[in-house]
Amino acid sequence: MAAIDLALPTPRRVRNESFAARTLRRLARHRGALIGASLVLVIALAAVLAPVIAPFDPADMGVGPSLVGPSREHPMGTDTFGRDIFSRVLHGARLSLGVGLLAVAISAGLGILIGLLAGYYGGLLDDILMRLVDVLLAFPGILLALAIVSVLGISLTNLMIAVGIGGVPSFARLIRGSTLTVKEYLYVTVARSIGARDAAIIARHILPNVISPIIVYATLRIAFAIIATSSLSYLGLGAKPPTPEWGVMLSDGREFLRVAPWVTTFPGLAIMVSVMGVNLLGDGLRDVLDPRLRV
């Protein structure tokens, strides 16, 4: 039961080292996690190396004839403007991964803050924050992001913020729950009794112990963020053409689905491979870190 170990009041530095090493060792033996990590690595490499390995500029029109199928020169074919789809898919990885990671960083950052405050202080503050969380959770799925985009205006940055805020309530809930448990531990009482300030107790004693349980959740949320941003971009509520964003590319290719299916197939595959990679890695992490959470 790894999760119980995590909550033990052992010194932080020592535990973190062994924790990371142990997690990595177990992950390396987990078949799904290995496949997931490889897929994520491929996408991450594509994202980082896109400017180097992309044969053409993703925005350049007429680098090939319009709508030709996959060939040696254009491994994924060209779109209606004669742009190279392979180059666009590679650059799309930068956007999708970047936006996915940042959106989850927003969700986790705000969610952790709200969860810690609500869980640690309790009382009226807890009531107010948790009622707010309940209200936000009443907007199903991507609808909260949709509502926020309609307020902020349509752009990829606003979409990222919207998807990020959309994820805050679930993080806040999880963190509040673990904070409620951790704050009752003896070492927190001890810290308080020797006069440690609240901020120090939260930062030094509670935060490290509530973060590890949400690593898995945060990983799986990246998959959701990638799907949500590409979906809303497909609807025309995020990135705009000619941005090489995968959702936008699918929306551009929709018209030519019958004659040029490759225009939508490759960005679609790219989304699926990234999301699958992140999901497999997240499932693997969950099995390794906390077998009780297995679904």
Which stretches of the chain bind another protein, using CB under 8 A? Answer: 131-132, 134-136, 138-143, 146-147, 149-154, 223, 227, 230-231, 234-237, 247, 250-251, 254, 257-258, 261, 264, 268, 271-272, 275-276, 279-280, 294-295
Work out how close the CB of 292 gets to another protein at its nearest, in angstroms, rounded to a whole number.
12
Residue nearer to another protein on the CB measure, 209 or 219: 219
**Dihedral sign computed on CA atoms, order 112, 117, 123, 126:** negative
CB atoms within 10 A of CB 275: 21
Residue nearer to another protein on the CB measure, 6 or 249: 249
CB atoms within 10 A of CB 209: 22
Work out how close the CB of 48 gets to another protein at its nearest, in angstroms, rounded to a whole number.
22
Work out how close the CB of 1 gets to another protein at its nearest, in angstroms, rounded to a whole number.
17
**Tokens read off for 215:** 């690593």
Which residue, 96, 104, 48, is CA-closest to 219? 104
Residue nearer to another protein on the CB measure, 42 or 272: 272
Classify burial at 87, counting beta carbons within 10 Å of its beta carbon; exposed 0-12, middle 13-18, buried 19 or more.
buried
* CB-CB contact of 149 with 232 (8 Å): yes
The widest CA-to-CA distance across the chain, in whole angstroms, is 74
Residue nearer to another protein on the CB measure, 55 or 98: 98
Q: Chain-centre distance of CA 207, in angstroms?
A: 20
Work out how close the CB of 44 gets to another protein at its nearest, in angstroms, rounded to a whole number.
17
Residue nearer to another protein on the CB measure, 75 or 268: 268
